[in-house]
A and B are shown apart, each in its own frame.
Chain A
Amino acid sequence: MMLFRKEFKRIVCSGVYVLFFAAEFFFAFYTQFWNDMSLGWNSYAPPEPGGDYGMTVVDDPELLTQNATADLLQNFISNNFTTYPLGFIHKVHLKGTAKEKLRMILQMLTGFDDPETYVKEHFESKTLYYDFDTEPTYEYQIPELNVLSRVSIEDFRALMTEADKILGGGSFYSPEEIDSTFCLAPASYEDVLSEYNALVNDDKITNGYARLFCDYHGIFMALLPVFLIAVYLSEDRRSKMEQIIYSRSISSAKLMLTRFAALVCAMMLPVLSTAVLANVRVMQVYGVSGLDYFAMFKYSLIWILPTVIAVTGADMLLMGFLHPVVVVVGQFVFWFFSTNLVSPTSPIGLFHLTIRHNTCYGRQEFIDNLPIFTENRLLFTALGILCALASVYVWKCRREGKLREIKLLPKLPVHQSEA
């Protein structure tokens, strides 16, 4: 316990921790959660009948098949598709076999032998825009296609998934995006009222806001810890204290696992501190009665703590044999792609480090996803602990001179070669 206290103090009294705390507070809390509530982005009062409640995803196969097929057809005719593989915008223009495959999919969905010619000859069009060196792009008024009279909804989804693959992935026809893009309808008063009531009565308000709170913290906690870990773990060498520490009688397991625990606790500090402020903010808006005062803390522990454990364990392991700068860059790249792969409304995937739920509503959706959420969080917790245990062995080897850092960046100053 004494060692834990000393390591914890060493972390929280360091300059890099102050920066970490400030960054976490500013980016994950102040500019996101706090600002959302300050700007009135969320409607705090119960909905009034007859208002505009925005759009919502509905379960309507007719709507889905019509909108998605019409969009695919439109893009096929202009041969201009926009996709977002790994989060980056990408323009796709098909030719050869790929175009033929997509044509066959459209034939099955629409029943047109030659969809391109049929649409051009039979449907009304208007010029959409001119490119500098291509034909003008037309938007066609595509009527009811009755897709479900030709294929079942399951086959439709399979064909759309195939179309997404032909386009290289990351399109709106992918299973993750198709419903939220093509199956939208105006939200009804009853739906919105039901959501509001669920927030107030079932979620006791703070549980709903705790999910939003964790959505933001989860993004930044998948990245920011690596900077703290890199500076903290390389301090022994930078301070030329490594050999003095390594020659003490403490076991590698006790040293590394205590440092792991101290890091995890220190990293949860800004989350738990902002949870207090988040509670205060919710109280200011909704009043103090009927709230679950522990919700922010409960969600922080089940949602954010596994992320912190996973990132800390993995980074400690990697830093056993890689230069800290390499680990920081690697973690950044992983974070960038993993957060871009999931949109704010993406369903939870088992291997998603960052879990998104960018609303204080959606209680039922969250409850429906609770099994995969639980599996995901347990998986990352276990992974983090396994990595921490593996890091004990790696650092033990390093301590006994049996393992040297892999010199990917030999001239960087943090880990100097020994004389």
Chain B
Amino acid sequence: MEERIEIQNVDQYYGKKQALDKVSLSIGKGMFGLLGRNGAGKTTLMKTLAGLHPKSSGSITVCGVPISRVREVRSMTGYLPQEFSMYPSMTCEEALDYLGVLSGMDKKLRHERTELLLKQVNLNEHRRKRIKELSGGMKRRLGIAQALLHDPRVLIVDEPTAGLDPEERIRFRNLLGEVAEDRIVILSTHIVGDIEASCEKAAVMNEGKILWTGNVAELLHEAEGKVWTATVETRFLPQVKSLYPVTGMVMKGNETVLRFVHDGTPDVTGAAQIQPGLEDAYIYCLYRNGCIENGGEI
């Protein structure tokens, strides 16, 4: 069966508000990043792929199966929602066993997979700890274990690193990288660093639309020659910010080293081109698509 998710012209409405607007994507094996601001429609798309939201129009197939065959799609999909927990009085082991039953797994398989996954997510020592006793990072790791429990061909993770400390974030990203070897993993996030560190392919979403999709390297390539740096007196900072989307600034006494994006040559004394980072490229993508006013606060 084809290891690919095909999304074509998908619309989704909440009442009169359009949450997804003609979304089309083709996602293959490996890590795929979905980048966008809060409220861009990422969670709606993730839920639609997990069979938790109906689409208004368009078509979605998951590994060749239309999304309307929701039970089949669910059996091959693992989902880690943005905000989640589990019954607080259950232990890690009990929670996984319960969810394994809901996935129709037999006792032997549940036992084996629980064993394996608790080791993989480094929770083996805490297997008899109650959910209410786990830290935020431990809960996320247990979350990924439950999503992988039935060995799905597709893993959908929605904002998994939000609120984690840097060490836990790195550990989590590495874990996703490991499991992405033999399945489709869709990582939705508004943290550019997560995409940069783990995804080869990505898409940028804004207001329910896909602004860009392709290799992450291409996004960087498109921003080449569009990212600038300049040192300006701090008193001129508001003027520069009103003209160009600023992606970074470091204060040094009464001067500020700025980093900003612009299509042509900026009207800033001493401005010089620099190599774009993915964050610059993402902002440039929003800027180029008219999602950021010509200048002003991002």
Contact = CB atoms under 8 A, between A and B. Distances in A.
B191 interface: no
Interface stretch (A93-101, A177-185, A396-404): A396-404
**Nearest 3 pairs between A and B by C-beta?**
A249-B75, A248-B102, A401-B53
Given A250-B102, A400-B70, A241 B52 contact: no
Considering residues A247, A250, A400, A419, which has the most beta carbons from chain B within 10 angstroms of its beta carbon? Answer: A247
B18 to A, nearest CB: 16
Contacts of A246: 52
Interface of A, secondary structure class, is loop
Given A249-B74, A249-B104, A419-B43, A239 B85 contact: yes
A205 to B, nearest CB: 44
A407 to B, nearest CB: 13
A128 interface: no
Contacts of B87: 10, 235, 239, 241
Contacts of A10: 87
Contacts of B99: 244-245, 248
B52 A399 contact: yes
Nearest to B73: A249
Given A243-B79, A243-B84, A246-B52, 5 more contacts: A3-B101, A244-B84, A250-B102, A400-B70, A402-B54
Nearest to A13: B89
Interface in A206-249: 235, 239-241, 243-249
B43 A401 contact: no
Nearest to A235: B87
Interface of B: 43, 47, 50-54, 70-71, 74-75, 77-79, 81-89, 97-99, 101-104, 107, 143, 146, 150
A243 B103 contact: no
Interface in A377-408: 399-402
A235 B131 CA distance: 14
A243 B101 contact: no
Given A245-B102, A248-B74, A251-B71, A401 B86 contact: no
Nearest to A396: B70
A245 B86 CA distance: 10
A240 B83 contact: yes
Given A244-B99, A249-B104, A239 B74 contact: no
B31 to A, nearest CB: 20
A45 interface: no
Interface in A1-45: 2-3, 6, 10, 13
A255 interface: yes
A244 B86 CA distance: 8
B82 A247 contact: no
B82 A255 contact: no
Nearest to A14: B89
Contact of A244 (B47, B70, B146): B146
A199 B143 CA distance: 61
16 contacts: A2-B107, A3-B101, A235-B87, A239-B86, A240-B83, A240-B85, A243-B47, A247-B77, A247-B79, A247-B81, A248-B74, A249-B103, A249-B104, A400-B54, A419-B43, A419-B83
Contact of B98 (A6, A249, A399, A401): A6
A247 B85 contact: no
A247 B50 contact: yes
B2 to A, nearest CB: 20
Contacts of A402: 54
B54 A255 contact: no
Contact of B71 (A6, A244, A249): A249
Given A246-B52, A247-B77, A419 B82 contact: yes
Contact of A401 (B54, B71, B101): B54
B85 A241 contact: yes
B101 A247 contact: no
A3 B103 CA distance: 11
A10 to B, nearest CB: 7
A400 B47 CA distance: 9
